[in-house]
Structure formats: C-alpha cells, structure tokens
Structure 1
Amino acid sequence: MSKKKNSSSKNKSSSNKKKNEVGTTNNTEWNCGEFEITLQSDICIGNGYAFFGTIDTDVVYDRNGLPFLPARRLKGVLRESAEFLYQVKLLKEVEGNSIEDIFGYSNSQNSNGIQVGNGYINNWNEISENLDKLKKENILEELLSKEKILDLFTSVKAQTRIKDGVAYDNSLRFIRVINQYSVMEQRKDKPLKFTAGIRYKKSWKENLEKIAKATRNIGINRNRGLGSVTCVFKSKSDDVHVFNGSFSDRVETIKVFLQNIDPLIISGGDKNDTLSFIPGRTFAGALAGTYLSNAGTSAKDDVFFDLFLNGKTKFSNFTISVGNKSYYPAPYFLNKLKKTGVYVNTLQYSDKISFSNDSNLNTGNGNQPKKMKGKYANICIGEDESICVEEIEPNKRVIFHHRRGDDKLLYSQTALESGQVFAGTISYPKEHYRTLYNLLKNTRLILGKSRTVQYGKCQIININDKYKSENKKIEINAGDVIYISLASPGVFQCESGIMVDPEKVYYQIANELGFDKIIEEPKDGKIMDGDTSCPYCIVEEYIVHGYQSVWNLPRAVMPCIQSGSVFVYKIRKDAQQNKGQTLPYEIDKSWVGKRNHEGYGEIQMFCSKKIPYDIQGIDKKKQDQNEENNPSTQNINIPDIIRPMLSSICQKELYGCIMSGLLDKVTERKFDMSPSTLGRITLMLTESIEQNVERINSFKKFWDKVNSIKGEKGKKEITDLLQMYFCNKEGTLDSEKILKCTSNKEEKYMGKVMEILSVCQTERNINAENNDKKVKEIVKSFWGELLMEVLTNQKYLNKFSEGSINTDLKEGDKL
C-alpha cells in the first residue's frame, strides 16, 4: 500500500513538473510571443527553384502566392545575431540562457529551445481563408491565381558580373525579390511586415529582445542591397486555436476535420519524404501529451488507458477531405483507363469487354487500365444504386534547406502543402465524452517532423457528430460477392506473430466479420462472380515506419497489408442462416485486425453487383464549372481585406489587355517623324508624368507641350495618335477611346474584369454609378504608361528598319 502511495506521489510530482512547462506559475514556464519583421529594402528568401530562361532564383511563397519567411531561415539569422552578441558580451551569461538553451541542442531527445513559426504577412490567416473561398467563384479563380498574387508582392531584377566595365559572358541572372512596400495598404510607401510566432521561457525574454534588435539582414545578396530588415520582439497571449462548435455526449463516433496551417512532414519509409495522410497514432499522441501535461494525471489512469491504450477508443487515419466528404486510398479493384479516363472495376473484366463497340471502354490502342496508386477516392453509391467516383490527391511540395557549419549540406524534403483539410473519425466510450472534448479544445496541434520550426502546425476547423458513414454497412445475401477493401494499412496477428500471408489474412477477416462459415472456398485462387472469374484477393505488403520522439529513435518496423488491398468473398447460394441470424442480414463494422486504436485496419465494404465494370467518374474542376457557368459579379461578396489586392490585379489585367491591343494597332505602321523628334516627345512625356502626381492632370501638361512643337510633321503625327486612342480634339482624356484599343477577342474578358474592379470600389453609401466613374478614372490614369510603350515600340521599329536597309549582301561583303 505504501509502495502504491509513493508511486502515486511520484507520478503526481512528475505531472506537476510537466504542467509547469506549459503553465503560468514559475520561471520555467512557456510563454507566447512574436517577432515583427519590417522590410527596409527588397528581400529574396530563395526557395531553391528556377524557371529556365526567366527566373534563376525564386522566392518562397505559399499555396495562394503570398510570400512568407520560412521559420528555419528566421531561426538561423536569429542564432547568428545571438552568437555575435555573446561574443561582444551583450547577452546574459547565466545558467539556462546559453545559445544552446535558447535555440536547442542538436540531436537532443527533447526540443527544449524556442519554437519559431513561419513569418507571414499581417492578417495572413484572414487573407488566406478569404482567398480560398473566393477562388471557388469561377470568375475569380483566374484573377486570384497563385501567379498573379505573387506578381503583386514581387518584382524581377536582373544582375550580371562586370569586370573593368565589361560584362562576363553568360553571367546575366534574373532574381525575384519581395517588394519592400506593401500592396495591401492604401499608402504606397508603407513597408511590408511579417509576423512570426514564438514560444519561449520567461527567463529568455530579455535576451530575445536584444537578439531581435541585432537582427538586421535576412536572405540572399545581403551585401548587394537586399535583405535589410528591422526585427522587434513582442509578448502576446497564447494562440491555441479553439475549434468552433461542439459534439453531443449521446454519440460514440465523431468526425474531426483538421487543417494544416504550416507544411506537414509525417515520417514514413523515406526520411526526406512524407506520408500523404496523418496517422491516427500521430493525432492520438498529441492528445495524450496534453492529457499527461495536466497536474495529477498519469499514464496509469483508467481514463488514459481507455482513451489511448486498451483499444476502446479508435483514432482513424486522417485522409484528404473536400467539404464533408471522406476520401480513402483507392481500392485496388478501381482502375482508370489510360486514354479515355473512364473508371473501371477490374474484378468485373471479361473478354467480351475487350471487343466492346464502346470506344470509351475498348482497351485497344494503349487504352489499358491504370492503377490509381497514391490516389484517394470517394465511391458513392446512391439510394437508387447509382454509383460515382470522385478522385483527389493531396498536394505536396519539395522544400529545399541549406545546413551551414562544419557539416554543410544542401538537401530537400517533401512536405504536405499547407492549407489542406484532412478528416478522420474518433470512436470513444461515452463516459469519457467530457475529457475528450477538453483535449480536443485545448491541445496545441503541432504534428510530424521539425515541429519546433517551420512545420507541423495544425488546427481543428470542425467536428461533425451527425455524419453518415459511407461503405461501412453491407447486407449479406445468399450468392452475393462482397469486396472488403482496407481503408488503412491492416495489421494481422497469428500465434507466431504478425502475418502478411494473403490466404491467412483472407480467412481471418472473414472470421472477424462473422461470415467465415458461409463463404465458398476459392478454387485455384479464383472466385466466380456470375460468368466472370476474379482473384480472391489483390494484396500488397507494406512496411510501417515511424519515429519515437521520446527516445529520439526510429520505431521498430512492422509488416502489414497496404491500404487499398482488396479481399473478395462469395456467400454460398444455399446459405440460409449464419450464427443464429437468418439471411439476409446486415453487417455494420469498420475495423479488422489489430491496433485499431492507432488507425490500422479500417475497412470499406462493397457488393459486386452494385459496382459494374464501367463507373461514372466526376472531374472536380468540371463539376465546379457546371454548377455556375456565368455567375453575376454583383453578387460576389469581396471582403475589405481582399479588395486592395483584387483591385490591383484587375488594374494590371486591364492595363495588359489595353496595351496588347494598342501595340497591335500602332505597330501596323511606323512613325515618319525623325528619331530626334521622337526622343524629344519621349522626354516631354517623362517630364509631364514626373511633375504631376495625378496622372490625369499630367496629360493636360503633356498636351500643351505637344502643341508647342514647331515641326508640323511631328506635331501632327503625335496629335493624331493622341486623338485616335487617348483624347478628344480639345485634349481631354476619353476613357472610351482608351478601352477601344482592346482586341475583339479580349473584350468579353475585359468586361468581366471591369465589373469586378467596379465591385472592388464599392463602399458604404456609394452607388454603382460612382463606382463606374472611379473605374473610368483608373482607365484614364493608364495613358502615360501606354503612350510610353508606344513610343518605345516606335523607337525600336526605327532601329530594326534601319538595320534591314541593305538586304542584298553577298558572301564576303563587310557589314
């Protein structure tokens, strides 16, 4: 008894110690703060990618094209600043405040240093959420593309290597940089700011403030005018995300929707690659850590056993999700014809199909079934027994890193792209509803590898306790052929240990589902489904890898049956009863095998007569387009935070359409004026624009200068050009004339852009007529850049024509 009491006291002490690490009571507590980084120049944070012939060094940006500062780079420059400050003795040299204490020890068992997040632009969460919603409007999908948004925040600079005033051959390089000034502000001189979250111990605060102030540069070409920043450290309240809504205490299974805010790396067999899903054991581990961090808790608690150890609570794998639909690894019977893209059930294939008159199904000319390896599918069977397939694949990206120091290394890691939604289920005992609810509400979800910097931050965005499970129930009838597909890797055990023998697994699954006594035995590995002979299983073995962060070691590998594997069973035709139940009866079961509480062994069940050879498929992009082919721009609600960005994109698109059409029309003929006159007119234009901030007012100044030209030929030529494309005879800008420069093929697109631009101008108590006036003023403001393009175009037309005067050169003639 005494021994048990001491053990309990020890556990309580341990629990209090863990609680102190996340509490608010002593000097070793963890606090939340942020680094605010303000650009003092353009900056380039390289992402390792290049685009041949256009960009040699690109910047880091997210799924929407918004640039950000990767946490690893930020932590690296902060550590450089700290090392410098320690050298000049400007940082405290006391116990617990060394560089290793603050930034962590390499290859340590625990991540005891600061935890730094990516640096995002201000209001990044709100901007990203709104962009994701607006992209679903077909009319905005193209305007809010990743490329167009990135173009707003960045520019491309050219640089070359020069010696003695002469450029080296093949040394011209193009580098994309993040612009110093923010496109999100009305003022054009307001610098762009990034905010990076940080978790730190209270005793480090003073040193972190000094380290932040000492951080002045980040990125490449720091000694070439790029990367100048100011950095400020600020304290703030905890940023644990609280999910919206709740779930009933009357249910035993809930569906949880999880979004990864940062890129996510889940350990698999390849240390530089990631799994395409979040394992149930990973999510369960995060909740278990929160449970044990509370004072007075222990891993020996009955509640802890029920939730995480004894299998009463089952955490499924979290797979990619769209809306409320779940997508599971595509069953191996589901293939896709290579050329026609038709989904087919290969278990229903027969020789008759190969000679089909239907060109979509004919497997000749290379139109062979192709496995959907790595793809996820939602197989929906309607009440009318109609069936359709929706296919999806998680987005991944390769991220490059450069390790410095004595062990220099350039390496890459594949990560799940940020902003994706994953869905999984939790089945739990009702009596632990309140505990589970609190764990889901209060757990800081940072999953996978490199959790202390750049990767892994997730949040729960929804919990559904009324969801309808798909393909988890099936009715057993005599003579039916049933497909059992593994929705997650399956772990099966026999007396000698883990087994992957397909035949043994086949019978074990039948036994667990309770129909092992009424199935037909496969003959020569085949099952007869009507006139069609199909294999009794399509199986692939898989080795489960993992990482044990507590020990800082890889987990022991474990063989299993890969998700997507299919087992085929045929119920005997003479079967009437099974274990006291009269056929037909319903099976309602979601799991087979061992370690279900970690996400292994989830299944889907299908009846073969409901899944024919050819299956209707849905193309998600075409489906979205068909839902609303011609939406009204006036009905689109554009949030205030997005309007500056969308307005700038629309103006760029509008300018591009006008410029393209104008150059096509003007290039048809060359000016007759002399190059010197053309040069003087270009100078007049430059001076008029520079002397007048308001572009519309500057046109009047330019008009007066043109009328002062003494040479009638040049004066008439430029005046005719202005009156044809820019203004009336009195020299007043005409927006209608400018808009008519657009080519006919772009008129429809430009009309939509102008409508959206008008919506972006909408303010309270402002009517549509005033918005149209604002758009026309914007169009008029383009005149200076458009005319400069025309004059530059004419300058080079003159050069090309002069260079092509002598077209009768013979071999041996000197140029």
Structure 2
Amino acid sequence: MIKQNYTCTLLSDIVLNASLATDGNMETLNFIPGANFLGIVAAGIYQNHIDFAFDILHSDKVLFGNAYISNKENVSIPMPFSLFKAKTGTGPTYIHHAISGDKDNELRKKGIQLKQERAGFLLSDNTIIKNLKKNFSLKSKQDRNTRKSEDTKMFGMESIESGQMFSFSIEYATEQLKNIVEKYLIGNKFIGKSKSAQYGSVDIQPEIDITLKTFENNTYTLVYAVSNLCFLDEKFGYPTFKPEAKDLGIEGGEICWELSQIRSKTLSTWNFKRGTDNAQRHCIEAGSVFYIKGGKPRIITKPLGEYINEGYGKVIYNPWFLNANSDGTILNELTESKPDEFKNDNKPITTALGKFLKNKQEQRSIDLSRAIKIHELVYANGKDNLKAISSSQWGEIRAKATNISEIENLKAELFTDKTGFLCHGVSAEKYWDKNKNRETFKSDFDSLSKHGTAAIAKYAAEMAKESIKQKNKR
C-alpha cells in the first residue's frame, strides 16, 4: 500500500455533529472522520471515473483515515485509556497494566486515587492537548414562506474553531488510484453540516509523514486503537465487542482483559446523498488498549475489522507512550499543551471581505501599540516640567503634526536650530530652553517616530490635557 499524509486546515468553523439527535444543543466531534474525505471525492469519482468507483469508495484498495489535531511538527492520536493520573491532576502519569495489584494498593495507602485519562489527544512530542478550540452559536430555523425565523425553533450549534490544523493519511493500492483521488481531494473543500451557510471551508494539502515510535517486548503485546474498531463474530456474523487475539493481528496470543482498557459505543453515521442515517455500528472506541500475552504481531498491510475504507481499524503495536518504568509510571512524562499552539493563521486570504477585515485587524493592532507607547511616555516619571508647558504650545505642535505627513519633515520643523518652532522666539525662552524640556520632548519624539506623525499628534493632545489639569490645580 502507498501511504500519503495530508493536512486539513480549517478556513472557517466546521460542524461535525457528535450524534444524530435534532433536539437541544448539538455538540460537535473533536476530530474529522475519514468518511468526510471519502465524501469529498465521491461526486467527482462517480461522475468522471465510474470504472474506479468501487475500488476507491467501496473496497479496501483506498483507505481514508481520520484527521486529528496537529501542526507541522507533531501529529496526535486519541488519548489512550491505559493512562491514569491522580484525581488532583498532579503527580506522574501511570500506565494501567504496570500498576495492577500490589502497586495499586500501595498508591491507595498513600491517599492517591487514580483517574482514567479519557479526554483529549496525545501528541508525538509527549505533550497532551485536553480540548480543541470550539465556538457556540444560537441558530433559528427559517420559515421559507415569510423568510423570517420560525417561533420556538431556536437551537444551539457547536463548531470547531477555524485556523486549527488536522492531520490524516490515506493508503492506496496503486499510484493510479492515488492520482485520481488527489485530483478531487487537494485544495479548498467543504465538509460537515451547514456548508451552504458559514461553516465547513477547509484547505487540504499533501504533507510528509511523521513516524510514531514503538518499543519491543517479548512477554506481551499492547495493541492501541488509533481509530474505532468494528469486528464481526465469525460464527454468527453479528457485531462483537470481544475480538480474539488473531482479530487484532496477533497469532498465538491471548487477550488479558484484566490488564486491558476497553470502551465501546454504538453509533450511526449520516448518509448525505440518501438523506438518512446508515445502519448502527457497534465499535470499540479509539484510545482502547488490549494487553495480549504471548504471540507475535503479524506484519499487516491494512487496518483491522470492518469499515476500514472510512478510517476504522487503525492500530499501533507497543506504542512509545505505553512503555512503563519499574514503578508503573510512564517512561517519558507528559506535559499539557494548549489549543492556540495548533492554530495556523498564515493561510492566504483571497476574498475581498477577508482582505478588508484583515486590514482592519492590522490597523487596530497598530493603533493599540501606538496608544500603549504614548501612555507610557506621557505618564512616565519626570514629565512634570513638560506638563507645565501651556496647552497652546502643545496645540501648535499637534497642528503641525496633523498637517505634515513625513516624520523627518516634522522633526526639522520642530527641532532645527534657530529656525525650528521649539528653538527660537519668546516661547523657546519661556518653555523649551528651561529644565531640558526640549531634550526630553525630543527623546519622546524619537521613541514615537516609527509610529508616524499621527503618534506625535496624539502625544501632543494628551500633553495638552495634562497641561490643563496642572493649571487647574494651581
């Protein structure tokens, strides 16, 4: 199989409902299922490559993976259920299979009660991210006849915030299938709900692979579920939550359920084309860990179980984060990361509205930086002598700064020896030649030069206000 990694950057918020319920507030998933990427290419495949439709969309020759939060340096996987931490949230991280029995009792005697880590994602650099950045908004159903909101039809909608980057992979049986899929996959696409409104815009691009580390152990094998696992019972063909070791790719082994950490769920996916939900799926959740005694992992070329073309069935054998110290703690301690570190705000803006808003944001940032600097200078220690200068003097300076656009021309107008506004005449003798006022103002002038003449005008306006305050105190 040919494996290709991709990044999916959110250009707008996206909505991926966690359930099919239509009442109450709708929660979104914290990852992008592989079926969404399959759906992106489906229309193009059916219309232009009908001969390849079965191979690409309905077989195991093209396997679409789930997308999890990432950045250019790190990919992530769902939080492993074998990781435990003290209920207080402090202290080291323990691994379930390494602290069973006496070690667990020893921790309880010390007053340490462990709690399973369930939420969030584990990153390839041994950090964890607890929550993605999400937004919540209230919506209302529209009456098509009156073109107004319908009464009693309000609902809440949660979305994954734009700017975040997700990583996923697709495996191809041939290079030809890869070329066909990428023709309809790469670029600006739409996924999730409300794609015709304000949600769902993403940018998909190919990316290099980041290898996840593993370790060796001759006594047992740990099978970590990167994605949901779905298995059918061989005897009756029914879904089962109790696979055998061979179903997990381990020949001759036996699952030790006491040392495993498994969670299960039942879900139904939505079929947009048919406008209804698919049959229920009974899954072992991503993040589950199987402890298998004996046996050796077989070399597998594809995921395990059912629905593998939609991202199900991905596993890792003996992943690095389940390697324990002798005291049961994780070999390399984890640290918490923040969602902001996984935002990518450097995508080019192409729309007129986007460019307008970007310019507004940049101008606002410039104005804020200038205002902070002016405030620091006006209210710094040692400025009482400047504040004692008459408000009319500051008014003249403000007028000149308003009418002169170039900072060097304004500097010459104010500070040129014998001809500058502050260097000759009665006002120079009365105000600027005393107490090094001219030198103090020139220092502030130079500090504000990079902000342009508008900053000098603002500075003079603030000084005029302070001058009036000083006069009123006398």
* TM-score in same-fold range (> 0.5): yes
CA contact (8 A) 2:223 2:290 kept: yes
Q: Give the aligned length.
A: 424
CA contact (8 A) 2:74 2:124 kept: no
Q: Please, which of 276, 280, 286 is the counterpart of residue 34 of structure 2?
A: 280
Aligned-residue offset at 1:484: 1.4
Matched residue, 2:5:
255
SS of the residue 2:376 aligns to: helix
Alignment of 1:744-763 (within 5 A): none
Aligned-pair identity (%): 19
Matched residue, 1:553:
276
SS of the residue 2:438 aligns to: coil
CA distance in 2: counterparts of 1:617 and 1:705, whole angstroms: 70
1:407 aligns with 2:150: yes
Matched residue, 2:462:
786
* Deviation readout 1:636-673 (Å, 9 max, x if unpaired): xxxxx9997775554334224324435x965xx9x9x9
CA distance in 2: counterparts of 1:262 and 1:289, whole angstroms: 22
* 363 and 735 in structure 1: CA distance in 2 versus 1, 3 angstrom threshold: farther
Partner AA of 2:306 in structure 1 = K
* Deviation readout 1:322-376 (Å, 9 max, x if unpaired): 21532010100123444436333233226557868xxxxx9967x6544433311
* 411 and 702 in structure 1: CA distance in 2 versus 1, 3 angstrom threshold: farther
1:693 aligns with 2:417: no
Aligned-residue offset at 1:460: 1.6
CA distance in 1: counterparts of 2:368 and 2:459, whole angstroms: 18
CA RMSD of aligned residues (A): 4.3
Partner AA of 2:7 in structure 1 = F
Q: Please, which of 323, 329, 335 is the counterpart of residue 610 of structure 1?
A: 323
Matched residue, 1:396:
134
Matched residue, 2:350:
none
CA contact (8 A) 2:140 2:149 kept: no
* 457 and 787 in structure 1: CA distance in 2 versus 1, 3 angstrom threshold: same
Matched residue, 1:7:
none
* Deviation readout 1:658-696 (Å, 9 max, x if unpaired): 24435x965xx9x9x9xxxx9xx5466457635762475
Matched residue, 1:631:
none
* 287 and 738 in structure 1: CA distance in 2 versus 1, 3 angstrom threshold: same
CA distance in 1: counterparts of 2:459 and 2:188, whole angstroms: 54
SS of the residue 2:81 aligns to: coil
CA contact (8 A) 1:545 1:555 kept: yes
* 253 and 392 in structure 1: CA distance in 2 versus 1, 3 angstrom threshold: farther
Matched residue, 2:253:
518
Partner AA of 1:264 in structure 2 = I
Higher relative contact order (Cα pairs below 8 Å, separated by 6+ residues)? 2
CA distance in 2: counterparts of 1:403 and 1:778, whole angstroms: 48
CA distance in 2: counterparts of 1:410 and 1:782, whole angstroms: 47
Structure 2: segments with no counterpart, 5+ residues? 143-147, 342-358, 405-409
Aligned-residue offset at 1:448: 0.5
Aligned-residue offset at 1:587: 4.0
Matched residue, 2:185:
440
Partner AA of 2:442 in structure 1 = S
Matched residue, 1:52:
none
SS of the residue 2:16 aligns to: coil
CA contact (8 A) 2:33 2:310 kept: yes
Q: Please, which of 364, 372, 377 is the counterpart of residue 658 of structure 1?
A: 377
CA distance in 2: counterparts of 1:792 and 1:392, whole angstroms: 54
Matched residue, 1:325:
74
Matched residue, 2:83:
334
Partner AA of 1:470 in structure 2 = L
CA contact (8 A) 1:544 1:559 kept: yes
Q: Please, which of 365, 374, 378 is the counterpart of residue 119 of structure 2?
A: 374
Matched residue, 1:470:
212
CA distance in 2: counterparts of 1:792 and 1:293, whole angstroms: 76
SS of the residue 1:256 aligns to: strand
SS of the residue 1:661 aligns to: coil
1:735 aligns with 2:442: yes
CA contact (8 A) 2:225 2:289 kept: yes
* 261 and 648 in structure 1: CA distance in 2 versus 1, 3 angstrom threshold: same
Q: Please, which of 278, 297, 304 is the counterpart of residue 592 of structure 1?
A: 304
SS of the residue 2:316 aligns to: strand
CA contact (8 A) 1:268 1:544 kept: no
Aligned-residue offset at 1:564: 0.9
Q: Please, which of 43, 46, 66 is the counterpart of residue 292 of structure 1?
A: 46
CA distance in 2: counterparts of 1:343 and 1:420, whole angstroms: 27
Aligned-residue offset at 1:566: 1.6
Q: Please, which of 545, 570, 579 is the counterpart of residue 293 of structure 2?
A: 570
Aligned-residue offset at 1:588: 4.6
CA distance in 1: counterparts of 2:426 and 2:275, whole angstroms: 76
SS of the residue 2:224 aligns to: strand
Alignment of 1:97-496 (within 5 A): 252-269=2-19, 272-294=26-48, 297-298=49-50, 301=51, 303-337=52-86, 338-340=88-90, 342-349=92-99, 351-352=102-103, 368-379=113-124, 388-391=126-129, 393-401=131-139, 405=148, 407-408=150-151, 409-430=153-174, 431-441=176-186, 445-464=189-208, 467-470=209-212, 477=218, 480-494=219-233, 495-496=235-236
CA distance in 1: counterparts of 2:91 and 2:70, whole angstroms: 22
SS of the residue 1:407 aligns to: strand
CA contact (8 A) 1:512 1:592 kept: yes
* 777 and 688 in structure 1: CA distance in 2 versus 1, 3 angstrom threshold: closer
CA distance in 2: counterparts of 1:352 and 1:706, whole angstroms: 88
Aligned-residue offset at 1:536: 3.2
What TM-score do you get using the length of structure 2 for normalisation?
A: 0.73
CA distance in 2: counterparts of 1:417 and 1:537, whole angstroms: 34
CA contact (8 A) 2:123 2:129 kept: yes
* 598 and 775 in structure 1: CA distance in 2 versus 1, 3 angstrom threshold: closer
CA distance in 1: counterparts of 2:427 and 2:109, whole angstroms: 74
Matched residue, 1:158:
none
1:499 aligns with 2:239: yes
Aligned-residue offset at 1:321: 1.2
What TM-score do you get using the length of structure 1 for normalisation?
A: 0.45
* Deviation readout 1:485-504 (Å, 9 max, x if unpaired): 21112212225555353xx2
* Deviation readout 1:524-566 (Å, 9 max, x if unpaired): x5xxxxxxxxx23222222324322223334444332221112
CA distance in 1: counterparts of 2:394 and 2:199, whole angstroms: 51
SS of the residue 1:427 aligns to: strand
CA distance in 2: counterparts of 1:726 and 1:482, whole angstroms: 78
Aligned-residue offset at 1:597: 0.6
* 420 and 349 in structure 1: CA distance in 2 versus 1, 3 angstrom threshold: same
SS of the residue 1:325 aligns to: coil
CA contact (8 A) 1:726 1:738 kept: no
* 726 and 646 in structure 1: CA distance in 2 versus 1, 3 angstrom threshold: farther
* Deviation readout 1:741-765 (Å, 9 max, x if unpaired): xxxxxxxxxxxxx7xx9xxxxxxxx
CA distance in 2: counterparts of 1:724 and 1:412, whole angstroms: 64
CA distance in 1: counterparts of 2:469 and 2:315, whole angstroms: 66
* 436 and 406 in structure 1: CA distance in 2 versus 1, 3 angstrom threshold: closer
Aligned-residue offset at 1:737: 5.3
Aligned-residue offset at 1:281: 0.8
Structure 1: segments with no counterpart, 5+ residues? 1-250, 357-361, 381-387, 526-534, 572-577, 625-640, 709-714, 740-753, 758-772, 802-815
* 725 and 368 in structure 1: CA distance in 2 versus 1, 3 angstrom threshold: farther
CA contact (8 A) 2:80 2:289 kept: yes
SS of the residue 2:123 aligns to: strand
Partner AA of 2:160 in structure 1 = L
Aligned-residue offset at 1:483: 1.9
